Every structure is written in C-alpha cells, then in structure tokens.
C-alpha cells in the first residue's frame, strides 16, 4: 500500500495534500488496499472554486483557436499514456484490461471532437425587428463547472464533461468517486498541464466533499453522473441555489426481442449488454422481454453464453468479466436475487461467488421473474440478466414502459413498424435497434425522467455547457416613436 499525500488537491495549478479524512482505495480483484489519500477539506474546496473563478475571465477571453489547441494537446497526452491509464483503470475499476485501452482512446477522441466543434459553433444571427438592427444569439460559458463523476467509467465520463466545458470557456473543479481517486487525479494532472493555472481544479473526496462543491455559491453549473438517488439530492440543492444541474442518472434498461429476430444473434447482443463491465453500466440491459415463440431457445443460448464467459483477474487479456467494484454492490445484487428466488424466480446459469479474493459474481441468467420483484423494477447494476416472456407486442411495450427510468431501450427486430413504435412510444433518451449499448460521438447520450436531464456527446453535449444570451443592437441611437418624450 502506498500513500499519495502530495497530490490529492489541485488549487491554482499547485498540488497539495488533502487535509480531510483518509480514504482507502481497494483493488476489487483482490480486496486489498492499494493506496490511501487524505481528502480535501472545505477550505480547500473553497480555494479551488475561488481559483477557478479568478481564472475564468482569462480563459473566456482566450481565442477559441488556443482553447482548441489545448484540447488537442490533452488528447495527445492521453494517447501517449494509454497503457499506463489502461492499467490504472483496471486496478481501480476491476474492468478487464482488454477493454480499458479502448476507453482511453475514446476519451482522447472526445477531446479532439470538441476542439474542432467549438470552432464552428458559437451562436447565430437571427432576423431583426427593423432595418439597421442586429440580433445576436450568443452561446456563452456558465463560469465555474463542478464536475462529479462515478467510479465505473471515471476517465471517459470526465472527458464527456471536461472537453466541452473547457472548449467553450468554462473553468472546472473536479471531484471523482472515492473508489477511483487515482484515475481522476491522473486525468486532472493532464488537464492542468495544458491549461492556465486555476482553469482546472481537483478535489479528492467522498460524498461530503461533493456536497460542499455542489452547494458552493461560486459554482455556476453542476455536472453529475451517478445514481438517481444522489442525483435527486444534487438537483434539489441546485434548485435551492437557482443554479442549473446537468444530471446523467441511473437506468433499468429493457431489451425487447420480437418473434422475427434471429435468436442466436439477439441472445449474443443481450448477453453482451447485460454482462459488459460486470453489468455496472448505466445503460446495461437489466431486463429482457422475449416473445414466447423464441423464449426457450433464447434462455438456453443466454445461459450457454453466461457459463462460457471467463470470470477472473482483470489484468489477464483473456478475461471477459472482472469483479464488481465493491462488496456492498455485490451484496445488493445478491439480495435482489435472493428476494426474487424467494418469490418464485430461478437461476439457470451463474449466481455464484467464486471462492477467491475479490468481489466476483458469476454472470447470472434468471427466469420465472415478474414485476413484483425488485430484480425487474429497481436498478441492479450487476452481471444479472432476468428474462420474461411476452405474447403480444402491446404487452412487450407495456412491460418495457413500466418503470420510472428513461435512459435507454434495445429492440431486436427487422420490422420497421416495431422500430417506429419503439422510438415513438418509449420515453427514453436512446433506442438501440439490433446493436445495444453503443455510443456515437456525433449523437447525444442521456436520459429522461428518473434517468436525468443531461445530454452528452454530439453538438448537444457542447451546448449543454453554454448558456444563451440575446444581444439586440440598434446600430444608431434614434428615438422610437413609442418612447416617452418630455412633456411641457
């Protein structure tokens, strides 16, 4: 174990040790503590926000080309440290290393995208009321953005926020999840190396640190990815302070497999979406509804896939599924499974916890489920695929819609009528058809209802970090006939 005491807080370009409570970083593959940090105390959070505020005027006034060049340098730095960052992500998240290099690449690509997009999108000129007038609609930075990111994709989800925010002239104070502190600090170092002092601040910590950052009067916008429960609290705090909250929250995404689907391909797609990152993805397929005509064959194939996946050391290139991030998370999943089985469900594959150190849980397929069970209605966030049969299309869409969440939904069909019905009826931010859990940098990602209000990626992800200002300009000072005049 090592103690990283010198780099837990970044204020005005200078790293310093935290002065708050100690946090320990566990490797979820071994359950061993690999590092410890002192968190930022309230005074350090205050100074980080103050420094970001002071740096804001200069960063806003920096030419767009210079800001874009800073983002390109950040992307190049990510490229040059690809292997290091992939290994760090593997230790801190438990995700297999075979995928983590791809996420470093994706993060670098996001910085490149917004470096260019910000050069093209700054507002518009709209028709004026009268001749000799100019009406400008300007997109302007909010100011200081408080960025709070979770542990499952700490590098990528910070890139989704930091790249457009910095590109459009905002400054940042970043707080990552306690479990992935080192990854956040490492990205913070890269961001700070290519921006003026104070433009990027970093504060290590847990919920208390995040709460102080959210409530700070100097923070102009809060951008948060995490649970719906935490997001509601953040949204309420921001509403109390009359500041906007950019919230990307949890999900309970359904997959609908219709009678015309290729059962083998559909089973592979659903299993991929359910077990990727040990099911710890906000857009994981957490419940599958399959036409009764395909149901038995589909369950059989999903069970075969689940049993075939290699569960083990995430540092091994051949590992398919690593550990869950925390014992508490694994316990929550097991509690949902136990409750479902007590109510009549059964497990046809997986469900075990390997007798090795670490927080492993076998990819699990459950049947005999219904909407009286938390397994089908509450976010699971683990490697579990519950499968339920349906008889009619109306029943399938009703079951998919029976949730307060609205992040995403997957459809498996070649019938365009069903696809149209899906994207028109389902109140979700993304509908995937025959290709689940895919991000397209050109299009927006985000949810509706209990899944939040944020949009990241695409031009929408850039606009999310700018406010709108209208400038009405009469080119000459000429009195209007309706203005008040002096009366004798």
What tens digit of pLDDT does each residue of 433-454 get?
Answer: 999 999 999 999 999 999 999 9
Q: How far is CA 174 from the centre of its chain?
A: 14
Catalytic residue among 26, 92, 182, 248: 248
- In this prediction, residues 229-242 reach a mean pLDDT of 97
Query: What band does 486 get if pLDDT is binned at 50, 70 and 90?
Result: confident
CATH number of 2-249+452-471: 3.40.605.10
What tens digit of pLDDT does each residue of 237-263 get?
Answer: 999 999 999 999 999 999 999 999 999
What tens digit of pLDDT does each residue of 6-65 get?
Answer: 689 999 999 999 999 999 999 999 999 999 999 999 999 999 999 999 999 999 999 999
Q: CB–CB of 310/337 below 8 Å?
A: no
Catalytic residue among 26, 179, 238, 282: 282
Q: Is the pLDDT of residue 127 over 80?
A: yes
Q: CB–CB of 387/353 below 8 Å?
A: no
Q: Decide if 282 is catalytic.
A: yes
Percent of the chain with pLDDT over 70: 99
Q: How is the chain split into domains, by residue range?
A: 2-249+452-471, 253-433
Q: Decide if 460 is catalytic.
A: no
Query: What band does 3 get if pLDDT is binned at 50, 70 and 90?
Result: low
pLDDT of residue 476: 96
Mean residue pLDDT across the chain: 97
Q: Say if pTM beats, i.e. exceeds, 0.75.
A: yes
- In this prediction, residues 172-196 reach a mean pLDDT of 97
Query: What band does 1 get if pLDDT is binned at 50, 70 and 90?
Result: very low
Q: Is the pLDDT of residue 336 over 50?
A: yes
pLDDT of residue 7: 83
Q: CATH number for the 253-433 domain, one of 3.40.50.2000, 3.40.50.620, 1.10.3720.10, 3.40.309.10? A: 3.40.309.10
Q: Is the pLDDT of residue 66 over 70?
A: yes
- In this prediction, residues 99-112 reach a mean pLDDT of 98
Query: What band does 488 get if pLDDT is binned at 50, 70 and 90?
Result: confident
């Amino acid at each position: 174990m090592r103690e990283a005491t010198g780099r837990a807080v970044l204020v005005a370009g200078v790293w310093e040790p935290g002065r708050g409570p100690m946090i320990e970083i566990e490797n979820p593959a071994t359950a061993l503590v690999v590092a410890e940090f002192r968190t930022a105390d309230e005074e350090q959070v205050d100074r980080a926000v103050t420094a970001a505020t002071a740096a804001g005027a200069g960063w806003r006034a920096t030419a767009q080309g210079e800001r874009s060049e800073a983002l390109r340098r950040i992307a190049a730095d990510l490229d040059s440290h690809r292997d290091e960052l992939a290994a760090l992500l593997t230790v801190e998240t438990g995700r297999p290393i075979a995928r983590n290099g791809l996420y470093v690449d994706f993060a670098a690509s996001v910085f490149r995208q917004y470096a260019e997009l910000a050069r093209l999108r700054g507002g518009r000129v709209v028709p004026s009321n009268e001749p000799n007038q100019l009406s400008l609609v300007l997109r302007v930075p909010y100011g200081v953005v408080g960025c709070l990111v979770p542990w499952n994709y700490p590098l990528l989800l910070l890139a989704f926020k930091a790249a457009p925010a910095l590109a459009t002239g905002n400054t940042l104070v970043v707080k990552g999840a306690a479990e992935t502190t080192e990854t956040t600090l490492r990205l913070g170092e890269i961001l700070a190396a290519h921006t003026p002092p104070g433009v990027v601040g970093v504060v290590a910590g847990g919920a208390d640190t995040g709460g102080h950052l959210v409530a700070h009067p100097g923070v102009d916008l809060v951008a948060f990815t995490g649970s719906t429960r935490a997001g509601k609290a953040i949204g309420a705090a921001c509403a109390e302070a009359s500041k906007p909250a950019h919230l990307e929250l949890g999900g309970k995404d359904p997959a609908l497999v219709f009678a015309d689907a290729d059962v083998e391909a559909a089973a592979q797609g659903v299993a991929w979406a359910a077990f990727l990152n040990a099911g710890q993805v906000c857009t994981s397929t957490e419940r599958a509804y399959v036409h009764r005509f395909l149901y038995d064959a589909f369950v059989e194939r999903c069970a075969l896939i689940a049993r075939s996946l290699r569960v083990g050391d995430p540092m091994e290139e051949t590992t398919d599924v690593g550990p869950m991030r925390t014992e508490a998370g694994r316990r929550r999943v097991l509690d949902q499974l136990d409750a479902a089985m007590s109510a009549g469900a059964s497990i046809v594959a997986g469900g075990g916890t390997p007798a090795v150190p670490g927080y492993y849980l076998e990819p699990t397929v459950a049947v005999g489920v219904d909407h009286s069970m938390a397994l089908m209605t509450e976010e699971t966030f683990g490697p579990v695929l519950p499968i339920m049969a349906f008889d009619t299309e109306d029943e399938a869409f009703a079951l998919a819609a029976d949730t307060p969440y609205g992040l995403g939904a997957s459809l498996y069909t070649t019938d365009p009528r069903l696809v149209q019905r899906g994207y028109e009826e389902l109140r979700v931010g993304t509908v995937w058809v025959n290709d689940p859990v895919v991000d397209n940098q050109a299009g927006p990602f985000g949810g509706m209802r209990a899944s939040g209000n944020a949009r990241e990626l695409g031009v929408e992800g850039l606009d999310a970090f700018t406010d709108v200002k209208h400038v009405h300009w009469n080119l000459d000072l000429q009195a209007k006939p309706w203005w008040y005049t002096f009366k004798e």
